[in-house]
Chain A
Amino acid sequence: MEQWKEALQKHIQEERILTSLADRYSYSFDASFGEHLPEVVVQPSNRDEVVGILKVANEYKVPVYPRGQGTCLSGGPLPVHGGIVLDMSQWPESIDLRVDDLTVTVSPSVLTARINEEAMKHGLMYAPDPSSAHVATIGGNLAENSGGPRGLKYGVTKDFVLGLEVVTPEGEVIRTGGQTIKNVTGFDLTKLLVGSEGTLGVITEATLKLVPKPPAVQTLMVTFDNVHTAGKAISKTLTSGVLPSKLEFMDQACIQAVENFNPIGLPTHAAAIVIVELDGHPEALKVEKEIVQEIMESIGATDVVVPGNQEEADQIWHARKQVSPAIAKIKPTKVSEDATVPRSKIPDMMARLEDIKQKYNVEVVCFGHAGDGNLHPNILCDKRDQEEMKRAEQAVEELFQAAIDLGGTLSGEHGIGTMKAPFMESELGATGVGMMRRIKDAWDPNGIMNPGKIFAEKGQKLVLRDE
């Protein structure tokens, strides 16, 4: 046995070191693309074990890839250079709620939805709501700086982190930030670590901010016969003094896919549907609902549906939830992107998507969080069709370029990982990426933490095909 594998056994029980081929293949993938076989999978359950593992890895220069439940859409936990997958999901759950401080301290393995569940019991809310919140761990959410529909009003993961406990790549323990809302002591390492995709260390504990739970919500569903009007309506709403908690968008292809999959009476002729959710005091909601309704009607919406009860509202959100399974029926392989543009540029982005669709002859559908310009163009293809996958790769490349051209960004909430690494320079420039690289090298002198992510390797390209 190699020395480093033997050395690992000093720090963690043997049954938590998985080495069989079946086990290793089970941690070779995530929810994105690519399959890479690690040499071992280690399942730590406390900080000291992580310290031990990282010390061994650093000494023997073995790569380490932290992994939550593998729901990542950008390749974050993929063990691209072999080595150790650090499965953080089996760490015992700990949720320490401090109601009077409006904070909660959690272990990295806690499922994100569980935090909100506990907070709700005390009239509080943990706002970030990625659609995988019931599966994904908070550790993964922190590493990727995940977003969600409520990001529009409340912000994303990074806006809710007050402090972290982190094991550095050299196996030292540091604490960043703290328990307080305000904190300007030194560099803001907390914000640097959140979204660093596991390239700077392993998060072993986090203290998060909570907000009061809004007493009521009001949903509206608005239909448009062209995307430009929808875009204008979104901008007008956001400048009206009303800030919705969610502003979700579905294009015609999505609407039709949902209706083909499980008909619920959506208008299939519509160019777009926008679903608005307002939250706050019931009295305030009455007024805000009317304001939004008026804006939508005056700007030329073809229909505004105001659900009369919770059941009808649930039905509308159910339709939005059906998008994912419905579009999977078009073609089995889904390349889900999260290129984000300034909010006013949504119609331009939609036009660019249409061009890309024609040019590369691929199926593209688009939905997402229109309120913050974070769209989810999905290219639907079939992994078994190499030629089609090649076209899909080209389409994705051009889609990234379109977002950057419009003043946007490669990723709104999924992260860079392996998939978008080759495009970093086109958004940030060589010096911009170079400065990030310097930070990385200073933190991780031996380059053991999650190599192959964020920073492209020489000649690295976007590949959706299995080699």
Chain B
Amino acid sequence: MSNLQELQKTINYDKTFDCVQCGYCLPACPTYETMEKETHSPRGRINLVKMVAEGKASVEDLRDPIEKCLGCMACTTVCPTDVQYGQILEGAKEVIEDHEVKSQAQKRTEDFLFGSFFPSKGWMKTLGNMTWFYQKSGLQSFANLTSVSKMAPLHLGYFEQIIPKQPSPRKRAKRTKRYLPKRKASAKVAFFTGCVMDSVFFETNQNTIDLMVRSGLEIVIPEQQTCCGALHAHAGKVQNSVELAKRNIRAFEEEEIDYIVNNAGGCGARLIEYHHLFEEGTKWRERAEQFVSRVKDISQILVDVEGLHFTKPVDKTITYQPSCHMSNVQGVKTPPLELLKKVPGLELKELERPEFCCGSAGIYNIVNYEESMEILDVKMKDVCSVHPERVVTTNPGCLLQMKLGIEREGQSEQMDAVHLVDLLLEAGPQV
């Protein structure tokens, strides 16, 4: 194969022909709205991918438009011809990544970050513990904690104040591998803990387990599980992503289970697309399909088992900010709302444009800080106009971003942001 042919294959040139350039995606795209040019729209990006594949533009020309895409997939929900934008985007990222000449230092940082840091339980635990330590001790800023800050002009300092209170290392160590409900379990669930969720939002993970156990589910936590690989795929590191998928598929095959439950919209979106990573007809594809068929978001499983009712009124006005990956990729839209409606005392005020991304988008808000904040400002205008006391989300990235938005608006006295799971547990769930 010639270089161009090879590039065409990686970049999914063939799939760009499904785009008829009707422009229906434009009003759905957050970056088209804030960055104000076609170059930062789905149609513009797909066209540029095509131009690169035809040798009319260089990979370098494609970099900025692709890096500035949130990957929120809102465009795919309005596309009349069902263009596989996600695959085109990932192909483009892979080509950009392959093409890039990186400095040694940058490579080392990235190898560490994607090869060791996110996939490692140890590191994630350390991150959580160190965060706890720094929070407790009031020493140095979070920004200096990891070598991440040397990678790019990151803005981790801004995030420091919004990281939730961390449990003590002892509490972390106390978690067991199996939880049994009081009565006979109705189904067996393997819990996918996620890496960021399990480090920064350890308490939310514990609450998730608690909710499921109360619902009469048996929970196992497969020890060999690792990062879902979403961040790797977003960064164009497809090979890493495949490796992680294999490790997870293996880890969740160890025991007979009915469901694989997660509580992070972004991770869930990755997990349910594992089969796309393997060629059709292969053994791995089959195993991935088995895996995918069991994946559910926590809100889905809680609605499905219908076990819980809520006894403690939560007298608050809330709004719900759905995770884009959960709505647009997993297609999970109504379960969180159904659960919220069951909580006594809650007044749910819906946003005017809930489907508009908050700008978190994996690590987008860290690597594209300015652009992310412009999107967040649009979101916060909508949030503030409904005057909620709480913003409920279903994904760690969105949760941090909403906390950041509340800080930026100077609204931290008036409102806070919580994960759906934490709110549900507060409402006294009982069978």
Contacts and interface: CB of A to CB of B under 8 A. Distances in A.
Interface of A: 18, 20-23, 25-31, 41, 43, 69-71, 87, 90, 111, 132, 134-136, 324-325, 328, 332-334, 382-384
A111 B27 contact: yes
B82 A325 contact: yes
The 9 closest A-B pairs by CB, nearest first: A26-B38, A26-B44, A26-B39, A328-B81, A325-B80, A22-B61, A71-B23, A332-B17, A31-B21
B324 to A, nearest CB: 20
Contacts of A69: 23, 26
B17 A27 contact: no
Nearest to B13: A384
A20 B58 CA distance: 12
B338 interface: no
Contacts of A132: 22-24
B36 A25 contact: no
B80 A384 contact: no
Interface residues of B, number: 29
A75 to B, nearest CB: 12
Contacts of B43: 70
A22 B65 contact: yes
19 contacts: A25-B61, A26-B44, A27-B38, A28-B47, A29-B21, A31-B21, A43-B37, A69-B23, A70-B23, A70-B38, A87-B37, A111-B27, A132-B22, A135-B22, A135-B27, A328-B80, A328-B81, A328-B82, A333-B20
Contacts of B17: 332-333, 382-384
A41 B36 CA distance: 12
Given A29-B21, A31-B21, A31-B22, A21 B57 contact: yes
Contacts of B27: 111, 134-135
B253 interface: no
A285 B13 CA distance: 52
Contact of A328 (B20, B47, B57, B62): B20
A135 B80 CA distance: 13
A162 B423 CA distance: 55
Identify which of A26, A71, A134 gathers the most chain B CB atoms within 10 Å of its CB: A26
B352 interface: no
Contacts of A382: 17
Contact of B20 (A18, A23, A31): A31
DSSP class of A's interface residues: helix, strand, loop or mixed?
loop
A20 B23 contact: no
Nearest to A16: B36
A384 to B, nearest CB: 7
A333 to B, nearest CB: 7
B64 interface: yes
B62 A22 contact: yes
B23 A25 contact: no
Nearest to B62: A22
B257 interface: no
Nearest to A328: B81
Given A325-B80, A332-B17, A135 B51 contact: no
B36 A43 contact: yes
A155 B160 CA distance: 59
Contact of B61 (A21, A30, A87, A334): A21
A26 B47 contact: yes
Contact of B23 (A31, A43, A325, A333): A31
A135 B23 contact: yes
A132 B21 CA distance: 12
Given A25-B48, A31-B22, A43-B37, 14 more contacts: A18-B37, A21-B61, A23-B38, A25-B61, A26-B47, A27-B38, A31-B21, A41-B37, A69-B23, A71-B22, A87-B38, A135-B26, A328-B20, A328-B82
B6 interface: no
Interface string B1-33: 000000000000000011011111011000000
Nearest to A90: B36
A20 B47 contact: no
B174 interface: no
B61 A20 contact: yes
A292 B110 CA distance: 69
B24 A135 contact: yes
A418 to B, nearest CB: 15
Contacts of A28: 47
Nearest to B61: A22
Contacts, number: 86
A25 B56 contact: yes
A25 B47 CA distance: 8
Contacts of B23: 31, 69-71, 132, 135-136
A184 B379 CA distance: 49
Contacts of B48: 22, 25-26
Contacts of A332: 17-18, 20, 81
Nearest to B43: A70
Nearest to A15: B36
Given A20-B61, A43-B36, A383-B17, A25 B51 contact: yes
A293 B326 CA distance: 46
A325 B81 contact: yes
A30 B24 CA distance: 12
A69 B27 CA distance: 10
A439 to B, nearest CB: 31
Contacts of B56: 25
Contacts of A22: 39, 48, 57, 61-62, 64-65
Contacts of B47: 25-26, 28-29
A224 B44 CA distance: 42
Identify which of A25, A29, A111, A328 gathers the most chain B CB atoms within 10 Å of its CB: A25
Contacts of B41: 26
A382 B17 CA distance: 9
Interface in B117-132: none
A30 B23 CA distance: 8
Nearest to B66: A22
A31 B25 CA distance: 12
Contacts of B51: 25
Identify which of B20, B48, B62 gathers the most chain A CB atoms within 10 Å of its CB: B20
Nearest to A22: B61
Contacts of A20: 39, 61
A306 to B, nearest CB: 28
B57 A25 contact: yes
A204 B80 CA distance: 31
A29 B37 CA distance: 14
A41 B37 CA distance: 10
A136 B58 CA distance: 30
A328 B23 CA distance: 15
A113 to B, nearest CB: 9
B20 A26 contact: no
A328 B24 CA distance: 15
Nearest to A23: B39
Contacts of B22: 31, 71, 132, 135
B80 A30 contact: no
A135 B57 CA distance: 27
A66 B36 CA distance: 17
Interface string B56-81: 11100110110000000000000011
Contacts of B44: 26
Interface string B154-165: 000000000000
Contacts of A27: 38
Contacts of B64: 22
Contacts of A31: 20-23
Identify which of B18, B39, B62 gathers the most chain A CB atoms within 10 Å of its CB: B39
Contacts of A134: 24, 27
Contacts of B65: 22
Contacts of A21: 57-58, 61
A328 B19 CA distance: 10
A283 to B, nearest CB: 36
Contacts of A26: 37-39, 41, 44, 47-48
Contacts of A384: 17
A332 B24 CA distance: 16
